[in-house]
Amino acid sequence: MAEIVIRNLRKEFGDFVAVKDSSFTVGDGEFFMLLGPSGCGKTTTLRMIAGLELPTSGQILIDGEDVSQKPASQRDIAFVFQMFALYPHLNVRRNISYPLVSQGLPRAQIQAKVAEVARILGIESILDKPVGGLSGGDRQRVALGRAIVRSPKAFMMDEPLGALDAEFREHMSEELRALHDRMGATTVYVTHDQLEAMQMGDKIVVMNHGVVEQFGTPQEIYDHPATMFVADFIGSPPMNFLRFEGGFRPGDRSVSLGGTAFATPELLEEAGGRKLALGVRPEHVVISDEGQYRGRIEAVEYLGTTQIVTLTTPHGTLKARTPSDRAARVGDSVGLGFTASTLALFDAGSGRAFRTAANAGVFHG
Amino acid sequence: MAEVVLDGLSKAFGKTQALQGVSMTIPDGAFVVLLGPTGAGKTTTLRLISGLEAPDAGDVRIDGASVLADMPAQRDVAMVFQQYSLYPHLTVRENLAFPLRSPILNWPEPQIAARVQDVAEVLRIAHKLDNRATKLSGGEMQRVSIGRALVRSPRIFLMDEPLSSLDAKLRAEMRVELKRIHTDLGATFLYVTHDQIEAMTMASHVGVLDQGRLVQFGSPREIYETPVSTYVATRLGQPRINLLPAALFEGAPKGAVQIGLRPEHIRQGEGQNAIVRRVEHLGDQTRLHLTLAGHDLITLTDAHSPLSSGDTLAIRPEKPLWFDASGLRVL
């Protein structure tokens, strides 16, 4: 049980800056996701929290205590890696009890602890088996058991499901989340899979090039991305960008793309004569026969109840998610509309989202 | 371009029956996707058509003529593998031209150059023709390896999970791209995958394999909406179809033991009370994990649903599918 506060954290490896000035807070008992592409600094951040790397500057507070320069052994954090390293010559019981034995706990207490952990993980029947013959899922459960058994303040998990195939990953992610809901221990989880992050996380930090791009709940980040990077990284298919040149003033409720006005949430900032991007999620594109703004259907992908329609527009390619019982034929020209309240506007140069009446409450600083 | 007929194909490797009496017709110009988990017999089917393996029983006919007596090279089929095996020391142009320089073909150089240019344009890699193969991105390398199959204009393209080594974004782009290439060429494709999204989005026909048997063959919509068994029903759809005891709901036809409910085919706000166990906000939609009379199920709801765990929600089946004790569909 712990709250973890990260303040202006920075890590350099020689000339390379892996993490630049990161700040965020992991609430007590939260399942917290560090999300980003490879090389974004998410694993380095996790390793600094665990004490496996020391930061170049900045602070890490665990329950108010600055631990940033303390060794890992004094932080009371358990780390679960992608490759679950078990002791191959020991059976399941001895693998799980190992951390307690090395702490010198009395035997009766160890037995009670291992029994409890085995019950939580549902692995009581395999306690006396050698780890060599176990399935991938059971090995993963044993690795988790070894982390849980110490009752640490927090868990750090570095893509613990990355090595599993898709179907099994889905199953294990549900199991992990259910385990967290039962134990309520603060967990920081690194992943590059946006769906995994949305599905499992209470909060998400999106990182890119060592910088925190956004921090919030999954729905906030999806609905109101702070940058074009986040808008593009989250969602499948991701947010569409219609690129145009133009401007707007505070109080405006529409923007003009090549002569067509599109209603937007009330704009709170000013932009003039700049390269801009109108951001629209695929499910907020409305296809109709009428409509002044036209697109040509390039591809239709059937997905069961919905379909993804790829269109070319005067302002770039656009993907729409529509019900699959609505006919869409490749080559057809159709009218396009967008759900106004969901639209975002970005500075196409810096990638930053402009503040609007819709997203103003979400952005932190 | 050709029609390919598989007629009662069987193949065993030692004690493992890899394929058992598989019959299907791959129509000329079709994009057929074979879907199934590892070990279902997908790759074996490709290898039997290409001639890399010989069947124990059955026949492979291309354009009406049996090809079993033909060597792989004589069958005029092209394979694209998961691992793009390009010649690293050659340029894209040389990689594409390589199959055409075969002594059997004996093509003059200008004809080779023209063909390579054509294919490069279809694949949209014409601007990279003089790059080293190893200097390309993953998607470009896979396009070149497809291009190497295309230059020969074979009678059928056999593709063995060609996108599985690419990352998610690139895979999504390549799905659209492959379908476009297929349409532009009017070629016949047989494509093997365990990825249901690839099967649904690209295929004109999907064949579902289960332990060496072809259990259903039809359009993606037929497979999704009218699966013949619980096995087929669970192949397509994310999240998976909910399978529950038929007795939980009214209206079960005679012989029905299980009810199959796709997550989007559950009407909310009427019917029996379920408990919300967990709510997952995925952005465009919200997944609700429910418990109904001790059984877990998943349904979908509005992105901004105010429901939270512990709430009660009334639900009723909509478009249910019924299955008997052996898992077969009951109409």
Statement to judge: residues B63 and B197 lie in one domain: yes
Per-residue pLDDT, A365 = 45
Instruction: Identify whether residues B166 and B227 lie together within a single domain.
Output: yes
CB atoms < 10 A from the CB of A271, how many?
Answer: 18
Q: Which domain does B27 fall in, by range?
A: 4-234
Classify A263 as helix, strand or coil: strand
Domain presence at residue A229: no
Is the same domain home to B266 and B176?
A: no
A94-127 as b/e: b if 16+ CB within 10 A: bbbbbbbeeeebeeeebeebbeebbebbebeebb
What is the rounded distance in angstroms from the CA atom of residue A11 to the CA atom of residue A71?
A: 16
Mean pLDDT of the B274-301 span: 95
Identify whether residues B126 and B248 lie together within a single domain: no
pLDDT value of position B1: 64
Looking at chain A, the whole-number percentage of residues with pLDDT higher than 70 is 98
Contact B284 A324 (CB under 8 A): no
B133 and B205 inside one domain: yes
A360 located within any domain: no
pLDDT above 90 as % of chain B: 72
Residues A36, A63: one domain?
yes
Which of the pair, B250 or A281, is modelled with greater confidence?
Answer: A281
CATH number at residue B167: 3.40.50.300
Average pLDDT over residues A165-170: 76
Whole-structure pTM value: 0.87
Contacts of B172 in chain A (CB under 8 A): 236-237
Please report whether residue A215 resides in a domain. Answer: yes
Residue among B201, B221, B283 whose CB faces A301 most closely: B201
Domain shared by A159 and A263, yes or no: no
Q: Give me the CATH number covering residue A303.
A: 2.40.50.140
Instruction: Based on the fold, state whether residues B112 and B134 are members of the same structural domain.
Output: yes
Question: Tokens at residue A18, please?
Answer: 């892996």
Give percent of chain B above pLDDT 70.
100
Residues A30 and A154 in one domain: yes
CA distance A102 to B304: 49
CB–CB of A188/A26 below 8 Å? yes
Residue B277 and residue B189 in one domain: no
Q: Choose the weakest-confidence range: A131-145, A175-189, A315-329, B280-294.
A: A131-145
Does B283 contact A235 at a Cβ distance shorter than 8 Å?
yes
Task: Note whether residue A362 is domain-resident.
Answer: no
In A, which residues are within 8 Å of B237 by CB distance? 304
The H-assigned helical ranges of B12-79 are: 42-50
Same-domain status, A97 and A219: yes
Residues B255 and B177 placed together within one structural domain of the fold: no
Residue A70 is predicted with a pLDDT of 93
B269: left (phi over 0), alpha (psi -120 to 50) or beta: left
Q: What backbone phi and psi angles, to 5 degrees, belong to B301?
A: -150, 180
CB contact under 8 A, B280 and A198: yes
| Domain-terminating residue out of B234, B265, B297 | B234
Let me know whether B200 and B150 are in one domain.
yes
Checking if the pLDDT of A1 tops 80, the result is no
With CA atoms as reference, the chain A residue closest to B304 would be A219
Q: How high is the pLDDT of residue A53?
A: 94
| Structure confidence by residue, pLDDT tens digits, A87-132 | 889 999 999 999 999 889 999 999 999 998 898 888 899 999 998 8
CB-nearest to B282 from A198, A299, A330 is A198
Whether residue A199 and residue B280 make contact (CB cut-off 8 A), yes or no, is yes
Which has more pLDDT, A174 or A228? A228
Specify whether A247 is located in the same domain as A305.
yes
- Pair A182, A299 in one domain: no
Mean of the per-residue pLDDT values of chain B: 92
Mark whether A190 and A334 lie in a shared domain: no
A355 domain-assigned: no
Last residue of a domain, which of B195, B213, B234?
B234
> Contact at 8 Å (CB) between A207 and A230?
no
Q: How far is B67 from chain A (nearest CA, A)?
A: 34
Residues B9 and B114 both lie in one domain: yes
Instruction: Tell me, yes or no, whether A101 and A160 share the same domain.
Output: yes
- Number of structural domains (chain A) is 2
From B202, B234, B266, give the residue that closes a domain: B234
> Could you tell me if residue A232 is inside a domain?
no
- Interface predicted TM-score (ipTM) of this complex, two decimals: 0.84
Please tell me the total count of domains within chain B.
2
Do residue A237 and residue B168 have CB atoms under 8 angstroms apart? no
| Chain A residue nearest residue B237, CA to CA | A304
- Percent of chain A past pLDDT 90, that is, above it, reads 74
In this prediction, residues B132-155 reach a mean pLDDT of 86
**Structural domain span for residue A21:** 4-223
Query: Are B265 and B218 in the same domain?
Result: no
| Residue A119 or residue B260, greater confidence | B260
C-beta atoms of A303 and B304 within 8 A? no
CA-CA distance, A352 to A359, in Å (whole number)?
12
Minimal C-alpha gap between A302 and chain B (Å): 5
Residues 6+ apart with CB under 8 A from B121: none
Which pLDDT band, with edges at 50, 70 and 90, does A364 fall under? low
Whether the link from the prior residue into A99 is cis, omega within 30° of 0, is: no
Chain B: residue whose CA lies nearest to A194: B282
Q: Are B33 and B193 in contact (CB under 8 A)?
A: yes
Provide the residue type at A222 as one letter. Y
A302: nearest CB among B220, B281, B287: B220
Q: Which residues of B touch A310 (CB under 8 A)?
A: 176
DSSP letter, residue A18: E
CATH number at residue B293: 2.40.50.140
Kind plus residue range of the DSSP H or E element containing B35: strand B31-35
Type of residue at B197? I
Distance (Å) from the C-alpha of residue A198 to the closest C-alpha of chain B? 5
- Are B174 and B299 found together in one domain? no
